[in-house]
Structure 1
Amino acid sequence: MPSLNWIGKEAVVKHHKDVPFRLLEPMADLSCGPAQGKDSGNLIVQGDNLHALKALLPRYAGKVKCIYIDPPYNTGNEGWVYNDNVNSPEILKWLGEVVGKEGETLDRHDRWLSMMYPRLVLLKQFLDEDGVIFVSIDDDEVHHLRSLMDELFGTRRRLATFVWRTDGNFDNQAKIKNCHEYVLAYANNPDLFPHPSVVDPSIGKESKLNRLHIQNTIVKNGPKNPVSSIELPAGFPASIDAGVIRARSNQWPHYATDVNIVDGKLATPVTVSSGWSSKSILQNFIDSNFESVLDSKGQRTRFVVTGTGAIESVKDREQASHVITVIGGVGSTQSQSSALAEMGFAFPFPKPVDLVRYLVSMIQGNDFIVLDSFAGSGTTAHAVLKLNAEDGGNRRFILVEMDDNISRNVTRERIKRVAEGYSNAKNQAVEGLGGGFQFCSLSAEPLFNADGQIRSDVKFAQLAEFVWFAETGTGFTGTADSPLLGVHEGRAIYLLYNGILKDKSVGGGNVLTGPVFDVLPKFAGSKVIYAAANRMGARTAREGIVFKQTPYALEV
């Protein structure tokens, strides 16, 4: 397969291995939620994303089902916060250290590729066996990015190149106006995306796409069969929740008067005007005792009356038969900038929440981790909390933001307000979506000191994650309260360190001796034991033990 080459590639192909492991250091005063957010499963990490990803691997390798990143587009414009032609001091420093003198004269595309390559290598290691990665990009680097991802993930794992209609995001001075961007999608196992066809009980036949919550995004430009008015009988399901899903925009409002809602139903008949759907569909809905009805395209439609009297048709998203590669109607950077301004933030070119929400909604289930290592204003976390509020899901987010000021005062603060609620610029109360997060920084010093020894302040639970990752290549999900960390592929993995057996003497808890082995939790099969030294001699082999000395066996 052809591969992409650029100046500096040789210096970065294996650079991810040279990045030192650091520890995540929770900052309780910047966290959000009960017990400083640590129980929410959500993380915001401040630090260079290359170092942050390396620090997160021992905990989350192979555990992430969805990755979304919005890296710098490398347009050559230096006027925005991330310095879009990759000339930021952090990136230049990194290029100087890794690529060397050659990095000073690299073309901006060379620099961009040198920055992206090791980060994508690490991101790949986070994906679950059915995980998917989405990467936003525009015309400047889409060809390079696709070649890079084909090389790292393989062309067989390429799902699609989505085209996002950016709803007017273009240069008005340009003679050729570009009003779209791209989202590249790759999957570890494309056969699981879309998932195999299943019989959908709601329609009584096989559905082409086992996605119970996907909604195609292309929006029609107006109602085909406007309805002047129709009477909704007493007992019609109604709601005072203004946050219902709309089939189209607010371009055609629908009003009723004297709405009296009791226990979620109209107490008296109400006459409403509507431009959402044909009168026959609405009448069929009423005649079917308010069950959802099929329209001419096979989509199921139901209707909701809000507390203001507006009638809104809701397309049941479980009937989506396919995912379309053109994404529209999910907002723009301008609309998201305005929404952030209403929250009290000024942030240029943020991705709209509904774009990320739509991408994440393609992932099967509602209990998984979503990772974003170019977090910016925190749109990905907002989208995750919004989806959870809609369907009661338990999706968790992990965000990484390099800039200390942005991570503290924009990313963190925005998600805190989204979770807990806030008052907008008009002094209107906006209800929180729930959730919390733990805010972490990266340790100033790596896990190993300059002599290659484990730092003296590293706790057992922290080292346990690295031992498990070194041995299995997967993230550690145990409790780290026992020298037996767990069993992987038929072998038990033990760690003797930092007084886990309440004995730090030479013949005690950190050294494998006969008496120490005798008090370890029992396992009948093969055993891998990490310890400072081994004093068991020939008994090691008789007991089925593979001994690995710390810290030398931990150079993962």
Structure 2
Amino acid sequence: MPTLHWVGKDKVVNHHHDVAFRLLDKKYEFKADASAPPNSGDNRIIHGDNLEVLKSLLPEFEGKVNCIYIDPPYNTGNEGWVYNDAVNDPKMRRWLGNVVGKEGEDLSRHDKWLCMIYPRLKLLHRLLDSSGVIFVSLDENEINHFRLLMNDIFGEANFLAQIIVQSNKRGQTYKQIAKTHEYLLCFGKSSLSELGELSTEGTNLPNKDKFGPYSARELRNRNPKFGRFNRPNLFYPIYVRPGEVDEEGNYFASLEKHADSIAIEPFNSEGIESCWRWGDPKVKKATEPSTTQYLFARQTREGGWRVFEKYRKESVKAKSIWFDTKYISEQGTTELGRLGLGQAFEFPKPVDLIVDCLELCDNDEAIVLDSFAGSGTTAQAVLKSNAQDGGSRKFILCETMDYAETVTAERVRRVINGFGENAKGAALGGSFSFYELGPALFNEEKNLNEEVGEAAIREYVAYTENIPPEEKVDQNVGRPASKISPYALGATETALWIFYYERARVTTLNLDFLASLNINALLAAGGRRPELFVIYADKCALDKDFLYSHGITFKRIPRDITRF
């Protein structure tokens, strides 16, 4: 598979492992007014470097995010925007200097952009659920490079779509060719990832009968590559009987043959064999009620016969070109203007672009992440989608820039409670919590930062040990593991984790400590003695043979705590 190389790649390929793990510091919670409609809660807006924010989300959200939408800098070289689009702002230059080193001074803007985006994609990949999908808006400046990056990180087999979005109907006329489009790239996490369809609200169903709206679609497969020669199981007769019609003059179709039946076979108008789109078991099931609810037949003016399916789904597969007016960039600007923030942010994405991404995600309970949140369009799209279909989607927004509170969070507040003359009618409801990046869990000497508190340290250690949430002591105080020791982290049927830590003194794993463990608490609850003990302490007074013979793995505080 072709791969992409650039100056500085070797410095950033594994950089996500070295990113400091920081805690998230909750500043406040905002809730809708009592008069606002119900909508999802437990939403988050996080201000801070999105690389560090993504790392800090891992303990709670690794493998749990269902849909990611990002609108990263397009890298046009334009440094005049509020959102610096040259990947050349002071923060990014300092980061490149620290991570890439001296050679970072000579990077092209493409090298810089790739160095910036790569570790962030690695963390986004870890956060995404096994059946989740990611959507990325870009233009021609980086789309070709980015597609190769996505092949590398997400896997070429998990490519789902590259959609052309008409973002400017008039086009950028100052160029030799008036550019009218951008791209929307979509990948899945694995082969389990699938895209849904887009709702049409019935506009794709022009006909109506007593069963409801429908669209008549010929049952014969029109693809000339298929016919009786390679799909013999799809070539069979369907019968109609003269005079057996419904109130609209449609003939009842059936697989049952009568003496006066007329056989209809899948030939095209030129008499060439093709085949049906349905197998006979499906046709049998559809025609058993002896109605035209699913299938019917009609005679053509030339005397031939055709069988039609009544298609009733009020949705269609998304096409690879999106040219509806709701997707143009001006719609995003207009929407932000309605909220009184039109001058605060340039070129926000249209809300309905992200609404349709959420619909393709096909999960009305999705956790939705946007790590380049900008003005907060994704939050508005999540709340709007919930209001339309009664879903309970939740959003997580990460914004690096200083306007995270004054623009991003302010927009979401106005969306929740409504804004302007028709404020209450426009309110979508909901709530969110606002966070800042907090202190690092490890200090500059790579030792535990004990100022963060024991609870945060225990939570992180439990995460690095992959202790299932339902087995953690801190979340399940009444579990037997909590009775074994006050230092217990969690227990499964085969393993027990102990974090023997006290800030005020050095702890030692010795025979006295082992004797203090109340293993009988597990046995009394119907469990069994663990096969493996993982015990953290400052020191160990037991030899390797003793540890091995008793199934004990000793880990020293803090050096043996894995830094994800």
Q: What is aligned with 1:391? A: 389
1:528 Cα deviation from its structure 2 partner: 2.8
Structure 2 match to 1:9: 9
Report the counterpart of residue 326 of structure 1 in structure 2.
321
Mark the runs of 5 or more structure 1 residues left unpaired by the alignment. 195-210, 218-244, 249-276, 299-315
1:32-69 CA distances to partner (integer Å, 9 max, x unpaired)? Answer: 469xxxx9321111001111111111221111111111
CA distance in 2, matches of 1:448, 1:510: 27
SS of 1:154 mapped into structure 2: helix
Please give the root-mean-square deviation of Cα atoms over the aligned residues, in Å: 3.3
Flag the 1:452–1:540 CA change in 2: closer, same or farther, 3 A.
Answer: same
Between the aligned partners of 2:19 and 2:189, the Cα distance in structure 1 is 24
- For 2:341, the aligned partner's letter is F
1:456-535 paired onto structure 2 within 5 Å: 456-472=450-466, 480=475, 484-486=488-490, 491-497=495-501, 513-518=513-518, 522=522, 524=528, 525=530, 526-534=532-540
Where does residue 553 of structure 2 map in the other structure? 546
The equivalent residue for 2:427 is 432
User: TM-score, normalising length from structure 2?
Assistant: 0.71
Alignment correspondent of 2:128: 127
Once residues 497 and 411 of structure 1 are traced to their aligned partners in structure 2, the CA distance between those partners, rounded to angstroms, is 40
Which protein has the larger Cα radius of gyration, Structure 1 or Structure 2? 2
Residue pair 2:16, 2:123 contacting (<8 A) in 1 also: yes
Q: Distance in 1 between matches of 2:471 and 2:31?
A: 22
Q: CA deviation at 1:328?
A: 3.4
> 1:128 is paired with a residue of what secondary structure?
strand
State the Cα deviation string for residues 227-274 of structure 1 (Å, max 9, x = none): xxxxxxxxxxxxxxxxxx6959xxxxxxxxxxxxxxxxxxxxxxxxxx
Residues in 2 aligned to 1:57 and 1:395: alpha-carbon distance in whole angstroms: 19
Classify 1:435/1:491 alpha carbon distance in 2 versus 1 (closer, same or farther; 3 Å). Answer: farther
1:451 Cα deviation from its structure 2 partner: 3.1
How do 1:283-302 residues align onto structure 2 when only pairs under 5 Å count? Answer: 284=208, 288=210, 292-296=212-216
CA distance in 2, matches of 1:496, 1:129: 35
CA-to-aligned-CA distance 1:153-212 (integer Å, 9 cap, x gap): 221121111221224273132331121111111112234414xxxxxxxxxxxxxxxx4x
Mapped partners of 2:27, 2:70: distance in 1: 24
Q: TM-score, normalised by structure 1?
A: 0.72
- Determine the structure 2 residue equivalent to 1:335: 331
Over 3 Å counting, the alpha-carbon distance change for 1:59 and 1:104 in structure 2 is same
| Contact 1:534 1:547 (C-alpha < 8 Å) held by counterparts | yes
Partner secondary structure for residue 457 of structure 1: helix
1:215 aligns with 198
- What SS is found at the alignment partner of 1:552? coil
Matched residue SS, 2:555: strand
Equivalent position SS for 1:26? strand
Unaligned runs of 5+ in 2: 34-39, 219-310
Q: 1:510 to 1:85 in 2, by over 3 A?
A: farther
| 1:222-233 to 2 correspondences below 5 Å | none
Residues 1:322 and 1:452: Cα distance change in structure 2 (over 3 Å): same
Question: Does the alignment pair 1:367 with 2:365?
Answer: yes
Give the direction of change, closer, same or farther, for the CA distance of 1:22–1:531 in structure 2 (3 Å limit).
same
Give the distance between the partners of 2:509 and 2:391, measured in 1 at CA. Answer: 43
Distance in 2 between the 1:473 and 1:78 partners? 46
Q: Are residues 92 and 472 of structure 1, via their aligned partners in 2, closer, same or farther at CA, if it must alter by over 3 Å?
A: same
User: Would you say the 8 A contact 1:26–1:439 is kept in 2?
Assistant: yes
> Matched residue of 1:433: which SS?
coil
How far residue 456 of structure 1 moved from its aligned partner, in angstroms, is: 2.1
AA matched with 2:460 = F
State the alpha-carbon separation in 2 of the partners of residues 395 and 492 from structure 1.
Answer: 35
Q: Alpha carbons of 1:474 and 1:33: their partners in 2 closer, same or farther (altered >3 Å)? A: farther
Q: CA deviation at 1:216?
A: 5.8
Q: Which residue in 1 is equivalent to 2:340?
A: 344
Amino acid at match of 1:550: I
> Is the contact made by 1:58 and 1:475 (CA closer than 8 Å) also made in structure 2?
no
Task: Confirm or deny: 8 A CA contact 1:61 1:473 kept in the other structure.
Answer: no
CA gap of 1:516–1:179, structure 2 versus 1, over 3 A, is farther
